[in-house]
Amino acid sequence: MTSKRVFDFAVSLAGLIVLCPLLIATAIVIRLESAGPSFFFQERVGLHGRRFRLIKLRTMRAAGPGEHRQITVGSDPRITCVGHVLRRTKLDELPQLLNVLKGEMSLVGPRPEVPRYVALYTPEQQAVMLSVRPGLTDFAAIEFCNEGEILARSADPEKAYVHEIMPKKYRLYERYVAEASMLLDLKLIARTIITIVRRRVTQ
């Protein structure tokens, strides 16, 4: 077991223990506000192309006819009141500590994509981005922390994501893979926390 995996396991386990009361309380509030489960599962692509079920706190109501989209913009009417708070503070991502604990993800690494979008990358690009475990945060997650707001300003969010955001994300994924180290991981975790706090204060 590598030092990175030991670090991921220890931090995710400690995080889940400490945050358990918060997760339970939030899950109850989600159920009280709207019908449906408290957690949301979605298939993502991980290390070496292995697929896994990513877990989040549910932030949207059940989709109606024609509402099944894999991109969510800031003004998406499906987002609940609680969901807006969870997305703004990134609290909806906390259950992914379980994915980290299981070894499907890492604390730091390229954000895992759904199979549909992974298929749009070239084989060479896939080889790079899938050569490490996907993570809770990385350069791209920090750079595009307001991705939903960016897409909301586009007339065609799907097209904007595929043709504008995905190429920029890949360059940042490539940078992480090339520079990966425990020190870099610690720096990115710190930068992520600072970014979330700043966004919370300014909103």
pLDDT digits (tens, 9 = 90+) for 90-136: 899 999 999 999 999 999 999 999 999 999 999 999 999 999 999 99
Any residues with CB less than 8 A from the CB of 172 and at least 6 apart, and which? 138, 139, 140, 143
Taking the C-alpha atoms of residue 99 and residue 82, their distance in angstroms, rounded to an integer, is 23
What is the rounded end-to-end Cα distance, in angstroms, of the chain? 41
Kind plus residue range of the DSSP H or E element containing 45: strand 39-45
Tokens encoding 158: 């799907």
Could you tell me what percent of the chain has a pLDDT over 70? 92
Give the structural domain span for 161.
3-202
Number of structural domains found in the chain: 1
pLDDT in tens, 5-35: 999 999 999 999 999 999 999 999 999 999 9
Q: Is the pLDDT of residue 64 over 70?
A: no
Q: According to the per-residue pLDDT averaged within each range, which of 59-68, 136-145, 148-157 is highest? A: 136-145
